[in-house]
Amino acid sequence: MSILIPFEKDLDKASPNRNIAPLTTEIDSEERLCVGGVSLSSLAKQYGTPLYVLDELTIRKSCKEYCDSLKKHYPGKSTALYASKANSSLVLSSIIASEGMGIDVVSEGELITAIKGGVPSNKIVFHGNNKSISELRLAYDNDVIIVLDNQYDIKQLANIVKPGERKARLIVRFTPGIECHTHEYIKTGMIDSKFGFNADELESIFIQFKKIEWGNIIGLHAHIGSQIFEVQPHRDLADVMVKILEVGRNYGHPIDILNVGGGLGIKYTSSDDPPSINSWVKVVSESLYEACENRSQKLPLLMCEPGRSIVGTAGLTIYSVGSKKEIPGIKTYLAVDGGMSDNPRPITYQSKYSTCLADRPLLSGNKRVTIAGKHCESGDVLLNDVLIPDCNGGEILVVFGTGAYNSSMSSNYNRIPKPASVIVSKSNADLVQRRECPEDILRNDILPDRFIAKD
């Protein structure tokens, strides 16, 4: 199995999202797999398994490609935001801030993480289809751009912003009625979606806000899905958004932001063929420019919200191999010390991944196995029918492409503690999230006095 694409100057060929492994992946003199100059088996010995590993260079290169491509292809102002739902942490927020990007958040926890990680509040956008009063108040108090998802948001904000106070900065989210070929659960642009206003409601929203003094509609937002390999839907989206932009401006609203969401896919397996970051940005930029030209509209600030394509390829998970079950003529199960609690995507989305052994990465696979997790669930399978070298308990298995929606969607199913996370760069590894222990899981449990046995 080929996991590496050599570094190239050509943006389309070197784009991190088109690589299965992190960009710093290499084989050392002992034929061990290394990332960021650190062998993965040595990380397993030092920090234990399962372990999330992030490659700093791959994250930074992804950020730079979005920012540079926007400057290259879009003649107006632009801002790339990191969709922190993909993986939220202080270290990722710090990297995003240092690369000049903004961030989008969907909860109080993600917002606090972004702020404490150093992201300027004026570069934060707050999403959510059911925001609480406390979340909206925190966002408003920090002058964060708030995305209006429904009338409930409007009602809540009307009770938060007092007369004479600073106006809230608002972006209206709507469903553009555009579908793309991705998993049903991660389609968000179709009309039947829990997110956003229907497009035919927007004129009434513009009329409603002519009488509202506590907030300004400064932008529009639409997002069509996740893990997308197509570019045509983004061409269609630009035209739809500019039509609505024109209507909003005609009603006197200072709409100067169009946020096209994110959704660019990454290469999980050799059969995946996503567009590069550069080519995706080029299509989005040129489509928006053409749509504005056709309607004689001033170019808005272009926002996009990549998440998976920033951190997905940058991350991997290492496991220790445990038990083996052979069913002659049917299947061989190889169990690891993690599973659906640290990676729920296979059981949720039927997601596929690539794998190899950390200390024998160049050995051709001669054994077809199914990599199973340790949880009490028949569906707890990380990889189905993959070829790897015959291996024994205690060996280290690497699963690539786990930087997005693994740590952020992890759970304590079966009361299993969450893994630690490290970031690697220039032969150094830094712990960025501590491993949970069983006592951490019990921390919020309360046993009322009447349940305590009396002597």
Residue 34 and residue 140 share a domain: no
* CB burial readout 409-448, b (16+ within 10 A) else e: bbeebeebbbbbbbbbbeeebeebbebbeeeeeeeeeeee
| Cβ(432)–Cβ(113) below 8 Å | no
* Helix, strand, coil % over all residues of the chain, rounded to 5: 30, 25, 45
The pLDDT of residue 52 is above 50: yes
Amino acid at 222: A
**Residue of 34, 292, 356, 376 marked active site:** 376
Return the number of other C-beta atoms located less than 10 Å from residue 125's C-beta.
25
Residue 149 and residue 62 share a domain: yes
What is the torsion angle, in degrees rounded to the nearest 10, for the CA atoms of residue 178, residue 184, residue 186 and residue 189? 20
Q: Is residue 426 in some structural domain?
A: yes
Q: How high is the pLDDT of residue 9?
A: 46
Helix, strand or coil, per DSSP, at residue 179: coil
Q: Is residue 244 in some structural domain?
A: yes
Residue 357 and residue 245 share a domain: no
Cα(128)–Cα(112) distance, rounded to whole angstroms? 15
What CATH number is associated with residue 282?
Answer: 3.20.20.10
Q: How high is the pLDDT of residue 244?
A: 96
The pLDDT of residue 348 is above 80: yes
Cα(103)–Cα(85) distance, rounded to whole angstroms? 10
Domain count, the chain: 2
- Chain-centre distance of CA 125, in angstroms? 15
Residue 359 and residue 215 share a domain: no
Q: Is residue 378 in some structural domain?
A: yes
Residues 7-21: tens digit of each pLDDT: 444 545 679 999 999
Instruction: Give the confidence band of 179 by pLDDT, cuts at 50, 70, 90.
Output: low
Q: How high is the pLDDT of residue 12?
A: 57
How large is the average pLDDT for residues 448-453? 92
263 versus 14: which is more confidently predicted? 263
Point out the domain boundary residue: 276, 311, 346: 311
Residue 363 and residue 377 share a domain: yes
391 is catalytic: no
Residue 356 and residue 281 share a domain: no
What CATH number is associated with residue 18?
Answer: 2.40.37.10
Q: Is residue 4 in some structural domain?
A: no
Residue 324 and residue 293 share a domain: no
Share of the chain above pLDDT 90, in %: 87
Q: Is residue 447 in some structural domain?
A: no
The pLDDT of residue 420 is above 80: yes
Residue 222 and residue 189 share a domain: yes
Helix, strand or coil, per DSSP, at residue 177: coil
Cα(262)–Cα(81) distance, rounded to whole angstroms? 9
Q: Is residue 449 in some structural domain?
A: no
Q: What is the mean pLDDT of the chain?
A: 93
Cα(431)–Cα(318) distance, rounded to whole angstroms? 15
Cα(105)–Cα(116) distance, rounded to whole angstroms? 13
Cα(27)–Cα(363) distance, rounded to whole angstroms? 12
Residue 297 and residue 327 share a domain: no
Q: Is residue 156 in some structural domain?
A: yes
Residue 181 and residue 324 share a domain: no
Amino acid at 395: E
Structure-block tokens of residue 160: 């938060």
Q: How high is the pLDDT of residue 233?
A: 84
Q: Residue 377 sits in which domain range?
A: 11-55+314-440
Residue 417 and residue 338 share a domain: yes
Point out the domain boundary residue: 311, 340, 369: 311
Point out the domain boundary residue: 296, 311, 326: 311
> Which residue in the block uniquely carries the two structure tokens 């952020």?
408
DSSP 187: -
Q: Is residue 450 in some structural domain?
A: no
How large is the average pLDDT for residues 39-49? 98
Peptide bond preceding 120: is omega within 30 degrees of 0, i.e. cis? no
Residue 273 and residue 401 share a domain: no
Residues 59-81: tens digit of each pLDDT: 999 999 999 999 999 999 999 99
How large is the average pLDDT for residues 298-311? 98
